[in-house]
Structure 1
Amino acid sequence: MLSAIIIDDEQAALRTLELLLNSYCPNVSVVAKGHSVAEGLELVNKHNPDIVFLDIEMPQANGFELLEQLPDLDFEVIFITAYNQFAVKAFKYSAIDYILKPIDIEELVKAVEKVTEIRKTKISPRERYKALFQNIEQILPQKLVVPNEGNYKYVDLNAVLKLETHKNQYTFTMVGGTTFTCSTGNLDVENNLLKKGFISTEKGVLVNLNKVEKIDKKGDGTIILEGDYHVALSPTNREKIISHLEKIVQAGKNV
């Protein structure tokens, strides 16, 4: 019998998967369910499962961050994902299994059978995840989960021009000029974006490098984004930012 934990922020998805496992995978026993990375960490350490069914995108932290916090990982992971072409390549390359939402029963059964065979080898799964960690950031679509009006909103970072922070709020300016504001909560969105192609132009302001169309070095200096959107540069780090942007252009990157 394989002990399993399900971690998914969507209650309906979590319950559906549990019912499918009970009905079609008799060798799997669901010992616990969690709705976040924090809960998942606690449950994994408590139950030491054989399998973790892990949603990729969850509020505050994603499934990969959970695995990165478990250096002595000794269980198999079956990712639950709404992604398709991007995720498939990454998971296959790393010999890691996944199930696309909505869950297909046949795929679920095959994934469990694969885990059963892998567990017989007694090979630590940790090595298989290293390649995934090294490549997944570039393969998966750029998305961010933020609190929004009592729920959570998935933000496509490719459509973000600028982010501004003020006290306890984030304001996103999107392609086309629309904006929306959300509470910062305990999210560290700024550091997250700095790892995903954004640059700080002044305190509390980040712009998407992929949306930079021109650098105006005259006058007080501005960055011109897609749609002729102008962003001023802080006098204290203007030269540093301009130099950084020019190096990117010279390197042939799409900024």
Structure 2
Amino acid sequence: MDWVIPLVTLTLMEVVLGIDNIVFLSILIGALPEEKKKSARIVGLGLALIARIGLLLGIKWVMGLEASLFRWSSIGWMPEDWLGNHQVDSVTGKDLVLLGGGLFLIAKSVVEIHKKTMGGDEDEMSDKARTASFAGVIAQIIILDLVFSLDSVISAIGMVKQVWVMVVAMLVAVAFMAAFSGKVAAFIDANPTFKMLALSFLVLIGVLLLAEGAGTHIGKGYIYAAMAFALGVELLNMRARKKKDAKKKAELREEHDAAAARHSVV
């Protein structure tokens, strides 16, 4: 029974790491026609599971990604005094994946933020553009699934040794994503301010991936805490807006009733 605590701990960690995947998936499928969202969500979650299990089965290859490929100092791209830290100077396959994934995530999130701030209307897209968009969404899901899965699997390998424990934890995490991804996507679509908040969250995750790829570890707990605080503030704003709207509707209704009463008297 020595596997129970590692299984529970790893499962909780995988669920937390899956939050990134849920948010990104929700943002991507939000641009698709309603009839294609469910299929895109299923494909995205299926690819996430396949990527994780595939990387687990290729543990030897994954561990090989931790081996140094080259050093920044050998190509003279960065100051040697800044590269005094061996971890920063040495570049591994994992680092390259994280750097590429971080850049992609930041670029994608910034483009989406630009679209929202410029008032782009997705409803005006042609059928051809929507079809291309579906293929593009799947391609982007594949890229980020690989990045998030690699991060997830390497973390799992560092915590437990039994492969079956890792597989069970991954299955539970993907089941969690399947259970909540639809609700998260619907909530984000219905609340534009939360969509902007989610995009900002993805920019932070992209920066985190870049930092880790450059050899600087930043605890995800700091980012999750900041986002939880921002989410709490936005929930308070939403509640305040609802109360204000309800009060305004009540005042308009009273004015309408008063006008109707005066009209009936006349």
Fold in common (TM above 0.5): no
Which of the pair is proportionally richer in helix?
2
Say which one has the larger Rg.
2
Structure possessing the higher relative contact order (Cα contacts under 8 Å, 6 or more residues apart): 2
Which of the pair is proportionally richer in strand?
1
Q: Give the shorter-chain TM-score range.
A: under 0.3
